[in-house]
Amino acid sequence: MEEYKKLELASNKIGDIGAIEIGKSMIWVNLEVLDLSGNEIGDEGARTLDGNNTWEKLTKLDYSSNKVTDKKTVIFVCSNGIWKDLEYLFLGYNPAVLEATDAIEAIEGITSKNPEELTFTILRSRKLCFNT
């Protein structure tokens, strides 16, 4: 089997069902980049994806422009300790992101934020910073 490092599925409207199937997958062990932006993924799909411990090499995850509404899901994504190499996490344009901002700031030490487009950069120190 070919080992993929990059999976770009932006704007495919996979929704929760597609996200759950991807999240349950135990393949793509060398996955470094996962772009799921604009796919109408809600809380259930996001939680399943976040629980995948196969993607230990993941460095970039784009969840922007989806339908995550539960701020607890956003906080979990931000503090996920499974993906230790994760450097970039894009969460902008999800309904729950603005609600979760204060909680994330308290947990992870965001240095600044922009309510229009919330994009976090996870530094190797596991701190979150706003990237404009």
Asked whether the whole model's pTM tops 0.95, one would answer no
Percent of residues, the chain, with pLDDT higher than 70: 67
pLDDT at position 116 is 43
pLDDT tens track for 25-48: 888 889 999 999 999 999 999 989
Q: Which of 78, 77, 57 is nearest to 6 (CA)?
A: 57
The domain spans of the chain are 6-130
pLDDT at 130 over 50: no
| Mean pLDDT, all residues of the chain | 77
- Give me the architecture of the 6-130 domain, per CATH: Alpha-Beta Horseshoe (3.80)
CA distances from 38 to 15, 19, 35, 47, 66 (A): 9, 12, 9, 17, 5
